[in-house]
Chain A
Amino acid sequence: MVTLEELSALDLLVWHRNGKSAAGISGCNQSTISRRLSRALEAFQLTMRRCRGEWELEGPTLLLQMERQLHQLGRLLGQEPLRLEISPYVAPFLVRPAPPGWTLGTLDHFGVAQPLRLLHDRVIDAWVCDMALELDSEELPELRVLPLYRQPVLLAADKEHPLARIDGLSLAEFGRFPSLRLPEGALPRMEARLAALGFGDVPVQLRRYDPADWEGRTADGVTLTYTTPFNRLLQPGLVPLRAAPLLQSGGCLLCRRDVADHGAIEQLHGLLCSRLHHWSPRLEQLEPI
């Protein structure tokens, strides 16, 4: 048997990746998290290992998943705060302040695989994804996808880039400049689209989103990156290049289908929509749904 605190220690560590953050959320010290974690792992006969910067569990997980479902039901019934992860590009607009009754995640996921896993395993209750392009609802039958907005993805560069203010260029004309390559497998559809257009020749070692390691790479005045309406507000040093969009994507709220009709999810969806409408006049080319 594990207590609520022991399972929380395990899941908060998986979600937030380190004991310090887990301890901060739980209101205890790191050694307490460590003790609780040991007991949870022992009770479920699991081991943990790091894989590409994320914790993975090894061992039989049926009982763990049952416990997680029970904990999620408890959270939905108000026993503890619900857990929300959100893309770093939209977090400053949609979850400041945090929605009432929700606790926030690391806000630094670059790709979709890890948030999807957290959602599937009921470690988190909802996730706001800003790359809906990467989600195939047929491959995610257990998830409900609630669309929030549509947005284009544009080429962008430092405002001092030689082509920054030139109109009427085709995408092909930017091909002679270096452009950032997405971390392998993080956003596979966008990666394929960029590759097809001839972009993505500058490899970037990036496990978690950090503007210094991504947009910061354009400070040389020549390297190209990609931007969205949200990112344009966050990175005033970047300018979108005056060419056709690279692709159309969008943002959405995801949760497990079996909890999607719960009032807490509906309220979160409503709050996100209302905050989106508040910001939309300043978000060029973004279309709230």
Chain B
Amino acid sequence: MATHPSLPVQLLPLPFQRGVGAIDRDPDRLTMRLRRSLPVLELDAVDSSLPFLHRSASLGAGSLVVHAAAHSALHAVNRPQEAAVFTMPLAGEKRFLLGGHTWVCRAGESSLYLPGEGYSVDTSVASGVILSVPPGRLAATAAALAGRPEGAVAPVERPVLLREDDPRQGHLLAMLRRALGLIDHATLEAGARLHLSLGLDDFIERLLALLLYPGLLESPAPAAGIDPADRKAFARLQEAIRADPMDPTWNLSAMERFSGLSPQRLQAVCQEQLGSDPLRWLRLLRLCQARRVLAQGLPAHELLPLAMRSGFTGLAAFSSAFRARFQLDPTLLALPDPADGPSA
């Protein structure tokens, strides 16, 4: 993977940027590229004592524009616009300020939908994908998915934070990463015709619609027979597990004991609340936590212990599950062990 000595973290490969997108040092060039679809008012490096480095590429497909960029820490201000912005970080953190509220979006933790309001953003060294699409288009897509006439669904006009550790949202975000992963550098060179003809833009828009209108995925049959007290007990259990998902004592029995729910009631309420079974959800939380640990810088020799703490029996199974979820090999995120470096 590409590294640069002046950056505190490695620049990650981007979903559709493998083999293209040379590193550039001019922030104005990044601004110009982004301005093709985003109304960037200003963009500056946060630390002027370090060179500002960035790689970026963009792809227009129908009404959808996809940007992939990896860059040094930056501050940017965007004007209001008609299109909404969906940002999915692959590394680093972004803090968005709009309407007096701060929205934090972290790799492996969350993605953020912003309607066309103006905002400012401060980022760490980061890489990720930004999708730009009219909110009305997503509302029309949602209406089509629901089998309702166009205009029957209102555009989403508020920010929406989408969490990786929510089973339903996490599943859709993983699908979105996989869809973006299908756009490779050959596509950029071919001018996107291939993917337009395959309807990838439509597919991505439908995923975004499902993320923003979760009711589309809900089963029409209401969950019957779930006691409100069970939901409260499950909420307490969620809180406890989220506080430390790596705690090795969490297992099905421990979850039942903590919540006071029988196995059947625990399954039922978990399915209703999260669309998942308890152990699958626990594994998802642990994978997300492992992603965060890796993002903070973990030496490669600590990968196996991390895999074990995450509830996997070995590195291969952990890597496989991690790749399936995040489209990234965990070994690429780990820091090289000192012994692996070039000898003096």
- Chain A residues in contact with chain B, CB under 8 A? 1, 3-4, 42-43, 45, 59-60, 62-63, 66-67, 69-70, 73-74, 76-77, 258-259, 261-262
Q: Knowing A1-B174, A45-B275, A261-B197 touch, does A62 contact B203 (C-beta < 8 A)?
A: no
In angstroms, how far is the closest chain A Cβ from the Cβ of B332?
19
In angstroms, how far is the closest chain B Cβ from the Cβ of A24?
22
Q: How far is the CA of A63 from the CA of B219 in the complex (A)?
A: 11
Q: How far is the CA of A151 from the CA of B92 in the complex (A)?
A: 63
A70 and B178: CB pair below 8 A? yes
By beta carbon, the residue of chain A nearest B320 is A3
Question: CB-CB contacts of B210-228 with A at 8 A, as 1s and 0s?
Answer: 1000001101100000000
* Contact residue among B145, B171, B197, B324 (Cβ-Cβ distance under 8 Å from A262): B197
Question: Which A residues are in CB contact (< 8 Å) with B321?
Answer: 3
* Contact residue among B145, B194, B284 (Cβ-Cβ distance under 8 Å from A62): B145
Question: Which A residues are in CB contact (< 8 Å) with B199?
Answer: 258
Question: Which A residues are in CB contact (< 8 Å) with B325?
Answer: 1
Question: CB-CB contacts of B173-188 with A at 8 A, as 1s and 0s?
Answer: 0110011001010000
Question: CB-CB contacts of B272-294 with A at 8 A, as 1s and 0s?
Answer: 00011100100010000000000
- Chain B residues in contact with chain A, CB under 8 A? 145, 167, 170-171, 174-175, 178-179, 182, 184, 194, 197-200, 203, 206-207, 210, 216-217, 219-220, 271, 275-277, 280, 284, 320-321, 324-325
B contact face: mostly helix, strand, loop, or mixed: helix
B182 and A258: CB pair below 8 A? no
Q: How far is the CA of A66 from the CA of B178 in the complex (A)?
A: 12
* Contact residue among A70, A76, A259 (Cβ-Cβ distance under 8 Å from B175): A70
By beta carbon, the residue of chain B nearest A263 is B194
Q: How far is the CA of A4 from the CA of B203 in the complex (A)?
A: 17
B219 and A45: CB pair below 8 A? yes
Q: Knowing A67-B175, A73-B182, A258-B199 touch, does A60 contact B145 (C-beta < 8 A)?
A: no
B280 and A73: CB pair below 8 A? no
In angstroms, how far is the closest chain A Cβ from the Cβ of B172?
8
A4 and B175: CB pair below 8 A? no
In angstroms, how far is the closest chain B Cβ from the Cβ of A44?
10
Q: Knowing A45-B275, A66-B210 touch, does A73 contact B217 (C-beta < 8 A)?
A: no
B217 and A42: CB pair below 8 A? no
A contact face: mostly helix, strand, loop, or mixed: helix
In angstroms, how far is the closest chain B Cβ from the Cβ of A79?
8
Q: How far is the CA of A261 from the CA of B196 in the complex (A)?
A: 11
A60 and B219: CB pair below 8 A? yes
Q: How far is the CA of A259 from the CA of B171 in the complex (A)?
A: 25
Question: Which A residues are in CB contact (< 8 Å) with B179?
Answer: 70, 73
B219 and A262: CB pair below 8 A? no
In angstroms, how far is the closest chain B Cβ from the Cβ of A5?
9
Question: Which B residues are in CB contact (< 8 Å) with A67?
Answer: 175
By beta carbon, the residue of chain B nearest A4 is B324
Q: How far is the CA of A60 from the CA of B220 in the complex (A)?
A: 9
* Contact residue among B174, B200, B207, B210 (Cβ-Cβ distance under 8 Å from A73): B200
A66 and B197: CB pair below 8 A? no
A42 and B277: CB pair below 8 A? yes
In angstroms, how far is the closest chain A Cβ from the Cβ of B121?
29
Q: Knowing A1-B170, A1-B324, A66-B207 touch, does A73 contact B198 (C-beta < 8 A)?
A: yes
Q: Knowing A42-B277, A73-B182 touch, does A1 contact B203 (C-beta < 8 A)?
A: no
B217 and A62: CB pair below 8 A? yes
Question: Which B residues are in CB contact (< 8 Å) with A70?
Answer: 175, 178-179, 182, 203
**10 pairs, CB–CB < 8 Å, chain A vs chain B:** A1-B171, A1-B325, A60-B219, A62-B217, A63-B210, A67-B175, A73-B200, A77-B184, A259-B198, A262-B194
By beta carbon, the residue of chain A nearest B202 is A258
In angstroms, how far is the closest chain B Cβ from the Cβ of A74?
6
Q: How far is the CA of A59 from the CA of B200 in the complex (A)?
A: 26
6 nearest A-B residue pairs (beta carbon)? A3-B324, A1-B171, A258-B199, A261-B197, A1-B174, A60-B219
B198 and A76: CB pair below 8 A? yes
By beta carbon, the residue of chain A nearest B198 is A73
